[in-house]
């Protein structure tokens, strides 16, 4: 980790920068994939699947979910169920109940939620079978009442999908799992094929091709969860923090990927020194040491004058995960403006939120915490406004509407009120 | 209006299509504007303003708001204030209060809202001074507690801005109004110049250049309100509907622009006939008759077998505005899945929601009501999750996290828990 001591405020903007992401020109590749899927449907998907994932693939078919649990240990199934319970409980608090309000007598307005009909979830393949992400996306979809939730994930070279992914899909009501991956899976969900039905919104992480394909899918009227970038954590630690805990949290971020970033802020030089020495001890023991080491090259330990300055810095950086490991952690948490998810106090490790405490782990990265929220039940809903105006209501509000519409020069808008007021006045006479 | 009688369900998809929007290749133009603003700042903005809006423009300066009210009639000011009251009341019901939940003993999770810091509002110039849109965007921004709300709107050929726009900005806490428009205004808000500070999220309608610039701004990390398209209404009317009211509502949509669309659905041939004859009478009296006439060429009156089929069609079309002018309007409203805003019963005209009833008029168009909500207080907030885990909590949840992280092969995630459990066990000993 690079150490920076007492940077001036005018130098902060440079410290807010994330590792530069390679901006390869993927546009042509992605357009070609979408063209192929639009023209060839399932055959196009199959061609890419044979090329990139499972050479022996014969058809695009759904994967049976029912017996996935048989391949898991009871310990793992119990842990998944504990996580499912906590995630369900927490996300249930996000369900909104309509409040009907008379803004004037006879003018009643309210808002109701309706599920987005068809959801597509993408789960990447690769070294880690991210069944936890299945829970984080399918549980709120289920709570929202989405009619159909499908999942795409690439098969390995033998055509298999990790049974934990299938089990998580099974217990969270996913209707179908397709063993397909990459940009072709995103294109299939965005366009639809004979086997795969078109969805309304696509969720889930992925590599640069998947991310570019999700962005492209937006041009076809598909919504996506949020802009994607590498994962990151910012930890604020004071002299009361446990250096070994802080080092472990930095490493659990760093092992995600070489492009991950971990930032340590402290008002204590000793704390930084102690964390860094713990870090090198713990790093040496990790199986994903090589990845974590690369990520730590993008990472910084920054000494600042006081904890308020640490919070100011954190709000400027807008971290995906913010851990506050200080004595007055609650008080500092009140001052957080920009963050995806906040972990308060020394026992609140990021792993808890990543897996099982109940909060969602699909969070805004790359500074998007300034203007985006993480995934929640809201992400699977539309909120529709309703109004009901009575005869009394239109008498109360009508004249103001006539004035406003006329001032905007929209006379048909005015007339829609006038014709109703005239009709009511004629009845009265 | 084109009439369609009893279309088969397999023909509905064609009837869901919106008027084709000219997909001019604006990419190069927009990139050039952004490059110019990035390089030349205020001078670049000024150059475009002189070219497209106000040839005599000398500097980019803020417009004084304080005396805007002096130029408005009391009648208009009172109408604006009535609208402001209703919009504020309704949007206040959207403010969420945190619910702290123990998902397990010692594991407390909750969600809190924080305002998006810096908001940019764009208000188009042209024939209609859309001060109502100022209210619809600045009021929820104010309720959300956004730190800074700026507004850009193009000056007319004499350098002036409609005083109603300035007055609406003044009473809703907009900090600065800049007399600039078009893609250059969006670029200035997305990049920042000496005069105009960079914003986090951009809201508001505009022509195809503004829309393309907003889309492009997303690549710079700026959020936008929603994808934009021409305005539209769908009206479901049964034999009890008042044909003159329905015709007036269709026309108030049609006068928006030549690319607007109005759809009438009914289970009664007589109702359709009566509405269409009322339509031609009312149309002839409108000042914006030429625009409305063009829009009606894109519009359709569709006869269906019954009202449930009308609701099915409407859910497939996913209208921005849905007016239900039937005897059982409330009952049908319960079956609405996809719509921006719903108007129930014969006195609930779209104009009410456009101006003054309290609901927002910035709504998803072009079928986006399938997967997007209209603007609300939520649009100006991030929702941040928080968690606080005690020693008891980590004992309760820790073993499950260890199991889950190990199953995903993320050992540093597991170790972040193990190190805490070990420390606690050592204390116990």
pLDDT in tens, B376-405: 999 999 999 999 999 999 999 999 999 999
Task: With 0.90 as the threshold, say if the pTM is over it.
Answer: yes
- Backbone dihedral region for residue B162 (phi beyond 0: left; psi -120 to 50: alpha; all else: beta): beta
Instruction: Residue A412: list chain B partners with CB under 8 A.
Output: 248, 251-252, 254-255, 282, 286, 288, 292
Instruction: Residue A376: list chain B partners with CB under 8 A.
Output: 111, 383
What is the distance between the alpha carbons of residues B147 and A357, in angstroms, rounded to a whole number? Answer: 32
Q: How confident is the model at residue B24 (pLDDT cuts 50, 70, 90)?
A: low
Would you state the pLDDT for residue A126? 75
DSSP per-residue string spanning A171-204: HTT--EEE---HHHHHHHHHH--SSS---SEEE-
SS3 B53: coil
pLDDT at B23 over 70: no
Inter-chain touch B417–A337, beta carbons under 8 Å: no
Instruction: Residue A370: list chain B partners with CB under 8 A.
Output: 116-117, 200, 221, 382
| A13–chain B Cβ distance below 8 A for any pair | no
End-to-end Cα separation, chain A, in angstroms: 83
Structure tokens at A70: 């048989």
Which residue do the tokens 């870090």 mark? A279
Output b/e per residue, A246-267; b: 16+ Cβ within 10 A.
bbbbbbbbbbbbbbbbbbbbbb
What is the distance between the alpha carbons of residues B193 and A374, in angstroms, rounded to a whole number? Answer: 30
Distance from CA of A176 to the nearest CA of B (A): 21
For domain A390-428, the CATH architecture is Up-down Bundle (1.20)
Taking alpha carbons only, the member of A343, A375, A377 closest to residue A91 is A377
Q: Alpha helices, DSSP H only, in A240-288?
A: 243-254, 269-283
| B292–chain A Cβ distance below 8 A for any pair | yes
Can A321 be counted among the known catalytic residues?
yes
- Element housing B234 (H / E): strand B232-237
DSSP per-residue string spanning B142-210: HHHT-SEEEEE----TTS---HHHHHHHHHTT--EEE---HHHHHHHHHH--SSS---SEEE----HHH
Would you state the pLDDT for residue B11? 94
| B26–chain A Cβ distance below 8 A for any pair | no
SS3 B396: helix
Inter-chain touch B245–A82, beta carbons under 8 Å: no
Task: Report the catalytic residues of B.
Answer: 320-321
Q: Strands, DSSP E only, in A304-355? A: 321-325, 341-344
Inter-chain touch B342–A90, beta carbons under 8 Å: no
User: Considering only residues 233 to 262 of chain A, which have any Cβ-Cβ distance to chain B shorter than 8 Å?
Assistant: 242, 244-245, 248-249, 251-252, 254-256
The strand pair at A201-203 and A118-122 is best described as parallel
Task: Please determine whether the domains at B2-19+230-358 and B24-93+114-227 fall in the same fold group of CATH.
Answer: yes
| B158–chain A Cβ distance below 8 A for any pair | no
- Element housing B5 (H / E): strand B2-5
Inter-chain touch A345–B242, beta carbons under 8 Å: no
Q: Which of B76, B366, B403 faces A403 most closely, judged by CB atoms? A: B76
With CA atoms as reference, the chain B residue closest to A333 would be B386
Contact, A161 vs A152, CB < 8 A?
A: no
| B17–chain A Cβ distance below 8 A for any pair | no
Would you state the pLDDT for residue B142? 98
Instruction: Residue B218: list chain A partners with CB under 8 A.
Output: 227
With CA atoms as reference, the chain B residue closest to A416 would be B248
On the 0-12 / 13-18 / 19+ scale of CB atoms within 10 A, B52 is middle
Instruction: Residue B385: list chain A partners with CB under 8 A.
Output: 340-342, 353, 359-360, 374
Contact, B120 vs B206, CB < 8 A?
A: no
Q: Which of B345, B373, B417 faces A382 most closely, judged by CB atoms? A: B373
Cα angle A86-A91-A92, degrees, rounded to a multiple of 5: 100
Instruction: Residue B382: list chain A partners with CB under 8 A.
Output: 338, 364, 369-373
Contact, B354 vs B74, CB < 8 A?
A: no
With CA atoms as reference, the chain B residue closest to A372 would be B382
Structure tokens at B292: 């409305």
Low-confidence ranges of chain A (pLDDT < 70): 21-24
Which residue do the tokens 């000042």 mark? B287
What is the distance between the alpha carbons of residues B209 and A370, in angstroms, rounded to a whole number? Answer: 26
> Phi and psi at residue B371, in whole multiples of 5°?
-140, 5
| A385–chain B Cβ distance below 8 A for any pair | yes
| A60–chain B Cβ distance below 8 A for any pair | no
Distance from CA of B65 to the nearest CA of A (A): 19
Q: Which of B359, B410, B412 faces A109 most closely, judged by CB atoms? A: B359
On the 0-12 / 13-18 / 19+ scale of CB atoms within 10 A, B29 is middle
Instruction: Residue B242: list chain A partners with CB under 8 A.
Output: 423
Inter-chain touch A385–B360, beta carbons under 8 Å: yes
SS3 B398: helix
The complex's ipTM works out to: 0.96
Q: In chain A, what are the domain boundaries?
A: 2-19+230-358, 24-93+114-227, 390-428
Q: How confident is the model at residue B174 (pLDDT cuts 50, 70, 90)?
A: very high
Q: Which of B285, B333, B370 faces A117 most closely, judged by CB atoms? A: B370
What is the distance between the alpha carbons of residues A303 and A265, in angstroms, rounded to a whole number? Answer: 6
pLDDT at B61 over 90: no
Q: Which residues contact A377 (CB under 8 A, 6 or more apart)?
A: A91, A94, A95, A140, A143, A144
Which strands sit side by side in the sheet containing B381-389, from one edge to the other?
Answer: A2-5, A300-303, A261-266, A232-237, A321-325, A341-344, B381-389, B107-115, B101-104
| A422–chain B Cβ distance below 8 A for any pair | no
Would you state the pLDDT for residue A284? 94
Q: Which of B333, B340, B408 faces A130 most closely, judged by CB atoms? A: B408
Inter-chain touch B349–A420, beta carbons under 8 Å: yes
With CA atoms as reference, the chain B residue closest to A376 would be B383
Would you state the pLDDT for residue A176? 96
What is the distance between the alpha carbons of residues A70 and B10, in angstroms, rounded to a whole number? Answer: 43
Q: Which residues contact A298 (CB under 8 A, 6 or more apart)?
A: A18, A19, A259, A260, A261
Cα angle A50-A53-A55, degrees, rounded to a multiple of 5: 40
User: Considering only residues 305 to 344 of chain B, which have any Cβ-Cβ distance to chain A shorter than 8 Å?
Assistant: 329-330, 333, 336-344
Inter-chain touch A337–B131, beta carbons under 8 Å: no
Which residue do the tokens 């040496």 mark? A284
Structure tokens at A329: 């952690």
Q: Alpha helices, DSSP H only, in A340-410?
A: 350-355, 391-407
| B21–chain A Cβ distance below 8 A for any pair | no
Instruction: Residue B292: list chain A partners with CB under 8 A.
Output: 412
- Element housing A312 (H / E): helix A307-317
Q: Which of B218, B282, B349 faces A417 most closely, judged by CB atoms? A: B349
Contact, B133 vs B426, CB < 8 A?
A: no
Inter-chain touch A412–B251, beta carbons under 8 Å: yes
End-to-end Cα separation, chain B, in angstroms: 83
Cα angle A240-A241-A243, degrees, rounded to a multiple of 5: 130
Contact, A291 vs A255, CB < 8 A?
A: yes
Instruction: Residue A189: list chain B partners with CB under 8 A.
Output: none
> Diameter of chain B by CA atoms?
91
Instruction: Residue A241: list chain B partners with CB under 8 A.
Output: none
Structure tokens at A116: 């987005």
Would you state the pLDDT for residue A154? 96
How many inter-chain contacts (A to B, CB under 8 Å) are there?
417
Q: Which of A357, A372, A405 best tests the B interface by mutation, with the highest count of B CBs <10 A?
A: A357
Alpha-carbon torsion B282, B283, B289, B294, what sign? positive
| A291–chain B Cβ distance below 8 A for any pair | no
Instruction: Residue A349: list chain B partners with CB under 8 A.
Output: 389, 394, 416-417, 420
CATH topology of domain B24-93+114-227: Rossmann fold (3.40.50)
Inter-chain touch B404–A356, beta carbons under 8 Å: yes
Inter-chain touch A128–B403, beta carbons under 8 Å: no
Which residue do the tokens 């930032």 mark? A263
Which residue do the tokens 């906040």 mark? A342
Q: Which long-range contacts (CB under 8 A, 24 or more apart) does A2-5 make?
A: A2/A297, A2/A299, A2/A300, A2/A301, A3/A272, A3/A276, A3/A300, A3/A301, A3/A302, A3/A303, A4/A300, A4/A301, A4/A302, A4/A303, A5/A269, A5/A302, A5/A303
- Element housing A387 (H / E): strand A381-389
- Element housing A9 (H / E): helix A9-15
Would you state the pLDDT for residue A66? 82
pLDDT at B22 over 80: no
pLDDT at B349 over 70: yes
User: Considering only residues 264 to 283 of chain A, which have any Cβ-Cβ distance to chain B shorter than 8 Å?
Assistant: 282
Structure tokens at A138: 């399918």
| B350–chain A Cβ distance below 8 A for any pair | yes
Contact, A139 vs A205, CB < 8 A?
A: no
Would you state the pLDDT for residue B21? 62
> Phi and psi at residue A410, in whole multiples of 5°?
-105, 85
Contact, A19 vs A259, CB < 8 A?
A: yes
Domain B2-19+230-358 CATH assignment equals 3.40.50.1980? yes
Would you state the pLDDT for residue A428? 76
Which strands sit side by side in the sheet containing B223-224, from one edge to the other?
Answer: B176-178, B148-152, B118-122, B201-203, B223-224
**CA B38 to chain CA centroid, nearest Å:** 27
Q: How confident is the model at residue B428 (pLDDT cuts 50, 70, 90)?
A: confident
Distance from CA of A400 to the nearest CA of B (A): 5
């Amino acid at each position: 980790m690079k150490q920076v001591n007492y940077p001036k405020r005018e130098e902060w903007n440079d410290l807010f920068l994330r590792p530069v992401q390679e901006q390869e020109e993927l546009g042509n590749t992605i357009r070609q994939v979408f063209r192929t899927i639009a023209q060839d449907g399932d055959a196009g998907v199959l061609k890419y699947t044979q090329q990139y994932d499972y050479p022996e693939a014969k058809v695009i078919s759904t994967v049976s979910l029912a017996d996935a649990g048989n391949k898991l240990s009871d310990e793992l199934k119990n842990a998944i169920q504990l996580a499912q319970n906590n995630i369900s409980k927490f996300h249930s608090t996000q369900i909104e109940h309509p409040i009907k309000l008379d803004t004037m007598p006879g003018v009643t307005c309210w808002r109701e939620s309706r599920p987005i009909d068809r959801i597509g979830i993408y789960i990447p393949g690769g070294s880690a079978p991210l069944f936890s992400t299945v829970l984080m996306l399918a549980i709120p979809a289920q709570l929202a009442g989405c009619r159909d939730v499908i999942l795409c994930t690439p098969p390995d070279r033998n055509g298999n999908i990790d049974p934990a992914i299938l089990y998580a899909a099974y217990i969270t009501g996913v209707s179908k799992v397709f063993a397909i991956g990459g940009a072709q899976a995103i294109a299939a969900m965005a366009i639809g094929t004979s086997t795969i039905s078109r969805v309304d919104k696509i969720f889930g992480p992925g590599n640069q091709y998947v991310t570019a394909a999700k962005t492209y899918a937006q041009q076809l009227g598909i919504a996506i969860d949020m802009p994607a970038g590498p994962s990151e954590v910012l930890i604020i630690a004071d002299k009361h923090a446990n250096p070994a805990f802080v080092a472990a949290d930095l490493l659990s971020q760093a092992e995600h990927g070489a492009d991950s970033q971990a930032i340590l802020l402290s008002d204590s030089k000793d704390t930084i020194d102690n964390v860094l020495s713990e870090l090198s001890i713990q790093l040496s023991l990790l199986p994903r040491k090589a990845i974590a080491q690369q990520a730590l090259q993008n990472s910084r330990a920054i000494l600042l004058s006081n904890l308020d300055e640490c919070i100011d810095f954190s709000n400027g950086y807008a971290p995906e995960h913010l851990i506050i490991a200080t004595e007055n952690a609650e008080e500092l948490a009140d001052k957080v403006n920009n963050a995806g998810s906040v972990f308060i106090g020394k026992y609140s490790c990021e792993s808890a939120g990543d897996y099982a405490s109940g909060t969602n782990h699909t969070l805004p990265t790359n500074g998007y915490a300034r203007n985006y929220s993480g995934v929640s039940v809201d992400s699977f809903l539309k909120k529709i406004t309703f109004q009901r105006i009575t005869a009394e209501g239109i008498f109360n509000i009508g004249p103001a509407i006539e004035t406003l519409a006329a001032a905007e020069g929209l006379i048909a808008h005015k007339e829609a009120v006038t014709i109703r007021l005239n009709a009511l006045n004629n009845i009265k006479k």
